[in-house]
Structure 1
Amino acid sequence: MVDIATRVWNHKWKIDPIVRSLIDTDFYKLLMCQSVFRNKRDTQVTFSLINRSDDVPLAKLIDEGELREQLDHIRSLSLRRNESTWLRGNTFYGKRQMFRPDFMEWFETLRLPAYHLERVGDQYELTFEGKWPEVMLWEIPALAVLMELRGRAVLNDMGRFELQVLYARAMTKLWEKIERLREVPELRIADFGTRRRHSFLWQDWCVQAMVEGLGESFVGTSNCLIAKHRDLEAIGTNAHELPMVYAALAEDDVALKQAPYDVLADWHEEHDGNLRVILPDTYGTEGFLRDAPDWLAGWTGIRIDSGDPAQGAETAIRWWKERGEDPRRKLVIFSDGLDVNKILELQAQFGGRVRVSFGWGTLLTNDFRGLTPDDRLAPFSLVCKAVEANGRPTVKLSDNPRKAMGPDAQIARYKRVFDVGAQVAQDVLV
């Protein structure tokens, strides 16, 4: 097992790559990339970094030269032969050859496109522009680099023994969480923590701890590289990015209203089983389910990623019953702002009523809260989103209005088109 504290101490090397591989990314990004490659490959999209935590001055903490080194290193990466073999030949979600030959041939020659980096006050403006299948693969590595460089900036001031104690405390903290989860009957939980992880080595350690501590209750990881190295299931379906871009491309309000369902119609053609999971909250869960075509009720389940998770699950249960489906056979994946107490609460509330699963993110792979003076390693809310498609702004409404994004006029239009009523603002949890 890697001595993480010693490796951190040795980060004083000129460059220790944060992202080691093009498949050091979330599985759903590759699934979505293949769908985009098939259906919208020439769409021009801009992604942009958004720091929701203004109190974390990234440009003061992270040296611009070091950030550029890490980003340039990512641009030098290409798919390795053994990684291509794994993607081409492995079984994912019970299906062999998940990734089609034409997509793999394209991916095997890919280098990520150029980036634009500029300091604006105490923050960085980081954007990626180009063809959608190419620029979308910047999202996860860009977030991972910024999160880890911020951590390195804090850790750089710590001594060798101080680092050993810090990681010992963090390991103990996670193991105590695992011990509590061990007692949960029929638990199904996966690692969703790549995008805001403390570091790659720490995420890998957390996954190994989950494997040993939870056994079959731990169902896999979203991180493709770790899944490959640790012989685990790669977990993931789709994300808000797809409906946001499809909606931006809509020519009128009628097409806009239909866009989220067009996304899932394209997905339906490619995937079945546990990959048929709806993410309904991009423009409000209530309206999405109310207007959804009947064939979507036959899908395997729903992922709840904003708003009150219990309310979202109750809404889904009512919808399934109204459409003549048995909720006990449906999968509900909770994935927003989870930690042990919330996992225990939701499992107790919905176990037996639906098939419950959890995608545990930041507070699995980056919970250093309370372990440093002034809490300088506490996780924060950093995202990288598609903000423009073919010159048009994207919009996200969410079930939590504090997660809404887009120009005010377009937000108002989307609320009208999708008939979004009053919403309850909630704290944005990492």
Structure 2
Amino acid sequence: MVDIASRVWNHKWKIDPIVRSLIDTDFYKLLMCQSVFRNKPETQVTFSLINRSKHIPLADLIDEGELREQLDHIRSLSLSRGESTWLRGNTFYGKRQMFRPDFMEWFEGLRLPPYHLERKGDQYELTFEGSWPEVMLWEIPALAVLMELRSRAVLDRMGRFELQVLYARGMTRVWEKIEALREIPDLSIADFGTRRRHSFLWQDWCVQAMQEGLGDAFTGTSNCKIAMSREVEAIGTNAHELPMVYAALAKDDAALAQAPYDVLQDWHDEHEGNLRIILPDTYGTKGFLDNAPDWLAGWTGIRVDSGDPAVAAQTAIDWWKSRGEDPSEKRVIFSDGLDVAKIKELHQQFAGKVKASFGWGTLLTNDFRGLVPDDALAPFSLVCKAVEANGSPTVKLSDNPNKAMGPQSEIDRYKRVFGVGDQAAQKVIV
């Protein structure tokens, strides 16, 4: 097992680059990339870094030269032969050859496109422009770089023994959480912590701890590289990016209202089984389900990613019942700001009503809260989103208005088109 504290103390980034591979990313990114490659390959997009936690002055903490070094290193990466073989030959979600030969040929030749980096006050403006299939693959590594460089900036001020104690405390915290989760019967939980992890080595350690501590209750990791090296399932389906871009491409209000369902029709044509998971909250869960075509009710389940998770799950249960489906046969994946207490609460509340699963993210792979002075390693909310598609702005409403993004005039239009009324604001944890 890697001695993380010693590695941090001795680290040289060329030995320990933050992003080590093009598949050091979330599995859903590759699934979505193949869908985009098939259906919208010529779409031009802009992705932008958005720091929701303005009190974290990233440009003061992170050296611009070091940030550029890490980003340039990512641009030098390409698939290794072993990674290509794994993607081409492995079974994912019970399906062999998940990735089509034409997509794999394209991916094997890919180098990520250029980036634009500029300091604005105490923050960085980081944007990526180009064809959608290429640019979208910047999101996860860009977030991982910023998160880990912030961690390194704090760790650089610590001595060798401080680091040993810090990681011992961090490991103890993770293990105590795992012990608490063991008490939950029929638990189904996966690691979703790539995008806001403390570091690659720490995420890898957390996955190994989950493997040993939870056994079959641990269903896999969203991180493809770790899934490959630790021989666990790669977990993930789709994200808000798809409906956001499809909606931005809509020519009028009628096409806009139809866009989220067009996304899932394209997905339906390509995937089945446990990959048919609806993410309904991009423009409001209730409105999405109220207007959904009947064929969507036959999908395997939904993922809850904003708002009150219990309310969203109950809304889905009521919808399935109204469409003649048995909710107890459906899967609900909870994935927003989870920690042990909330996982226990939701599992108890919905046991027997649905098949509850949990995608545990930042508070698995980046929970050093209270372990250093001034809480300088506390996780914060950093995202990298598509902000423009073919010249039109993107919009996300969410079930939590604190997560909404886009120009206000477009937000107002989307709320009208999708019938979004008053929403209860929730604190954005991560």
Using the size of structure 2 for normalisation, the TM-score is: 0.99
Specify the SS of the correspondent of 1:205: helix
Q: Provide the secondary structure at the position in 2 that maps to 1:119.
A: strand
| SS of 1:421 mapped into structure 2 | coil
Q: What residue in structure 2 maps to residue 120 of structure 1?
A: 120
Q: Distance in 1 between matches of 2:287 and 2:157?
A: 50
Residue 14 of structure 1, CA deviation: 6.5
Displacement after TM superposition at 1:253 (Å): 0.2
Counterparts of 1:339-350 in structure 2 under 5 Å?
A: 339-350=339-350
| Paired residues for 1:383-402 under 5 Å | 383-402=383-402
Counterparts of 2:400 and 2:365, CA distance in 1: 24
Which secondary structure does the structure 1 equivalent of 2:324 belong to?
A: coil
| 2:73 is equivalent to residue 44 of structure 1 | no
Residue deviations 1:408-429 (CA, integer Å, cap 9, x gap): 0000000000000110011012
Deviation at 1:12, TM superposition (A): 4.9
Matches within 5 A, 1:9-408: 9-12=9-12, 16-408=16-408
Measured in 2, the distance between the counterparts of 1:17 and 1:334 equals: 31
Give the partner amino acid of 1:87. L
What is the rounded CA distance, in whole Å, between the counterparts of 1:376 and 1:301 in structure 2?
38
Please give the per-residue CA displacement for 1:377-419, whole angstroms capped at 9, x wherever unaligned: 0000000000000000000000000000000000000000000
Distance 1:184 1:13 in 2: 40
Q: Which moved more, 1:374-383 or 1:6-15?
A: 6-15
Secondary structure (helix, strand or coil) at the match of 1:38 reads helix
Distance 1:80 1:286, change over 3 A: same
Q: Which amino acid aligns with 1:307?
A: G
- Partners of 2:215 and 2:351 lie apart in 1 by 19
Q: Per the alignment, in what secondary structure is the counterpart of residue 99 of structure 2?
A: coil
- Distance in 2 between residues matched to 1:429 and 1:242, nearest whole Å: 24
CA distance in 2, matches of 1:41, 1:161: 51
Instruction: Rate the CA distance shift 1:13–1:262 in 2: closer, same or farther, 3 A.
Output: closer
Q: Could you give the per-residue CA deviations for residues 332-368 of structure 1, whole angstroms, max 9, x where no partner exists?
A: 0000000000000000000111000000000000000
Counterpart-to-counterpart distance in 2, 1:76 and 1:290: 46
Which residue identity lines up with residue 350 of structure 1 in the other structure?
F
Identity %: 83
- Give how far 1:16 is off: 3.3
**Helix, strand or coil at the partner of 2:205:** helix
Q: Which amino acid aligns with 1:119?
A: R
Cα distance in 1 for residues equivalent to 2:10 and 2:279: 41
Instruction: Using the TM superposition, give the Cα deviation of residue 24 of structure 1 relative to its aligned residue in structure 2, in angstroms.
Output: 0.1
Paired with 2:15 and 2:204, the residues of 1 have a C-alpha distance of 20
Matched position secondary structure for 1:49: strand
Letter in 1 for 2:280: P
Counterpart code for 2:68? R
Larger CA deviation: 4-13 vs 285-294: 4-13
Task: Supply the AA of the counterpart residue of 2:78.
Answer: S
Measure the CA separation in 1 of the matches of 2:237 and 2:120: 35
Report how far residue 11 of structure 1 moved.
Answer: 2.3
SS in 2 for 1:130: strand
**How far apart, in 2, do the equivalents of 1:18 and 1:409 lie?**
38
How many residue pairs match? The answer is 430
What letter corresponds to residue 334 of structure 1 in structure 2?
Answer: F
For 2:253 and 2:324, the matched residues in 1 are separated by: 30
